[in-house]
Amino acid sequence: MKKILVVGASGQIGTELVVALRSKFGNENVIASDIKDEIKPALQNGPYEKLDIMDASQLKTIVSKHGITEIYQLAALLSATAEKHPDFAWKLNMEGLFNVLNLAKEGTIKKIFWPSSIAVFGPNTPKTNTPQYTIMEPSTVYGISKLAGERWCEYYATQFDVDVRSIRYPGLISYTSLPGGGTTDYAVEIFYSAKRGEDFSCFLKADTALPMMYMDDAIRATISLMESPKEDVKIRSSYNLAGISFTPAEIAAAIQKFKPDFQITYDPDFRQKIADSWPGSIDDKAAQEHWGWKPNYDLEKMCKVMLDNVLEHDFQGS
Ligand code: NAD
Ligand code: AKB
C-alpha cells in the first residue's frame, strides 16, 4: 500500500500538495512533516511528524515507523534567501536530497519527488522558449544547488535504478500559503495589495518577464508525473514545465481589468539581478509528449481566482 511522506509540508507548495494527496490517497496515508513545531490547520486532518531533513537517522526512524513507500522532498532555501545564506543553502538543499536518495538506493523507498526550478538556467541560456536541453550555467547559489541536484538525481536513477522524478517549477502563485523567500514572490504579494485596495511597490522592473504557474496546475503536474508509468518518465534530471509567462507590467494590467484603481510602482532590489539571469519563457514539449502535461490556467483566469480568494481562504495559520 502507498504511504507518502511530504517533507517541507508547511511551505507554499507542501501545504497544497498534502491537501491534494490526502484527498486522493486518504488522510492516514499521507504523513506531513516539517522542521516547524506547529502544525498548520490545513495539515491537521492527518499524521504530522516534526523532521529536520538533514538528520538522516531521524528520517529513517519516521520512514520505518510509518512504512513510507514514497517521499516528496520539498525542504530548501529559495533563491533570494539562499543568496543571503549561501553556505547553509548549499548544505540544506544538497543534504536533504542525498538523505532521501540514499534511502531509495537502499531499497527502503520506492519513489521520490524532488523539485528543481527554472533557476537552473543562467545568463547565457536562451531566454525565450528555453529548451529542455541547453546551456545552463546558473549564477545563483540556489540555481547551482538545483542543477547539482538534477545531476545527482539522474546519476542515482541510472547507476542505482532509483525511481526519482522531478519538475523544474516556474514561479508558483497561490492564495493559501505565502511564498518562502523567492524572486518570483512579487507575483503573489501583488494580489494581497490589490485585494486590500493598496498600491503595490514591485521589487522587479516593469519589463522583467519570468515563467510562472498557478498552484493548481503545479500540483496537478506533480501528481500526474508521480503517477505516470515508470517507462514514460524518460527524463531523470528534471522536466521543463510551462504555465504563464508575464512581466510585472502585464500582471498589473491584468489585475486592473478587475480592479481599475489598482496602481503599481517599481523599486528594483537585489532580486532584479537574479530575475535577469533567468528565462522569460519555457519550452515544455518533453513533459507534454512523455506524460501528457497541459496547463489549465492563463493569466486572466489566474488573476480572477487569486482576486476572488486571496485573504478569504488562508491556510497561513500555524
Ligand atoms: P517554502 O519555503 O514555502 O517551504 C519550505 C518548507 O520547508 C518550509 O515549511 C520550511 O519550514 C521547511 N523546511 C526548511 N528547512 C527544513 C528542514 N531542515 N527540514 C524539514 N523542513 C524544512 O518553499 P516552497 O515554495 O514550498 O518550495 C518547495 C520546493 O519547491 C523547494 O525545493 C523549492 O526550491 C521548489 N520550488 C519552489 C518554487 C515556488 O515558486 N514556490 C519554484 C521552483 C521550485
Ligand atoms: C524562487 O523565486 O526562488 C522560486 C523559484 C522559481 O525557484 N520561486
Give the position, in ligand 1's atom list, of the atom nearest the Cα of 184.
40
Residue 287: pLDDT over 60: yes
pLDDT digits (tens, 9 = 90+) for 121-179: 999 999 999 999 999 999 999 999 999 999 999 999 999 999 999 999 999 999 998 89
Q: What is the mean pLDDT of residues 41-53?
A: 97
Give the position, in ligand 1's atom list, of the atom nearest the Cα of 36.
11
Q: Which residue has the higher pLDDT, 317 or 292?
A: 292
Cα of 7 to ligand 1 centre, how many Å? 9
Residue 10: pLDDT over 70: yes
pLDDT of residue 152: 98
Cα of 108 to ligand 2 centre, how many Å? 31
pLDDT of residue 313: 67
Q: Angle 142-148-153 (CA atoms, 0-180°, nearest 5)?
A: 120
Cβ proximity of 34 and 50 under 8 Å: yes
Q: What is the mean pLDDT of residues 222-239?
A: 98
Give me the architecture of the 4-170+214-240 domain, per CATH.
Answer: 3-Layer(aba) Sandwich (3.40)
pLDDT digits (tens, 9 = 90+) for 101-133: 999 999 999 999 999 999 999 999 999 999 999
* pLDDT band per the 50, 70, 90 thresholds, residue 1: confident
* Set 48, 72, 133, 142: catalytic member: 142
What class has domain 174-211+243-309? alpha beta
Q: Among the listed ranges 43-57, 239-253, 299-313, which one has the minimum average pLDDT value?
A: 299-313
* pLDDT band per the 50, 70, 90 thresholds, residue 286: very high
pLDDT digits (tens, 9 = 90+) for 206-217: 999 999 999 999
pLDDT of residue 180: 86
Q: Whose Cα sits closest to atom 35 in ligand 1?
A: 115
* pLDDT band per the 50, 70, 90 thresholds, residue 267: very high
Cα of 260 to ligand 1 centre, how many Å? 34
Probe ligand 1: pick from 5, 10, 13, max atoms within 8 Å of CB? 13
Query: Which grid cell sits at 219?
Result: 500540483
pLDDT of residue 177: 85
CATH 3.40.50.720 residue spans of the chain: 4-170+214-240
Q: What is the mean pLDDT of residues 65-85?
A: 98
pLDDT of residue 62: 98
Residue 35: pLDDT over 50: yes
Query: Which grid cell sits at 97?
Result: 536530497
Q: For a pLDDT cut of 90, what percent of the chain falls above it?
A: 96
Residue 195: pLDDT over 50: yes
* pTM summary value: 0.97
pLDDT of residue 317: 42
Cβ neighbours, 10 Å, residue 26: 14
pLDDT of residue 291: 98
Q: Is 142 one of the catalytic residues?
A: yes
Q: What is the mean pLDDT of residues 295-299?
A: 97
pLDDT digits (tens, 9 = 90+) for 14-28: 999 999 999 999 999
Cα of 31 to ligand 1 centre, how many Å? 16
Ligand 2: lining residues by beta carbon, under 6 Å: 78-79, 117-119, 142, 171, 182-184
* pLDDT band per the 50, 70, 90 thresholds, residue 318: very low
Ligand 1: lining residues by beta carbon, under 6 Å: 7-8, 10-14, 34-36, 51-54, 74-76, 78, 92, 115, 117, 169, 171-172, 179-182, 184
CATH 3.90.25.10 residue spans of the chain: 174-211+243-309
pLDDT of residue 314: 55
Could you tell me which of 106, 53, 111 has the C-alpha nearest to residue 236?
A: 111
Cα of 73 to ligand 1 centre, how many Å? 9
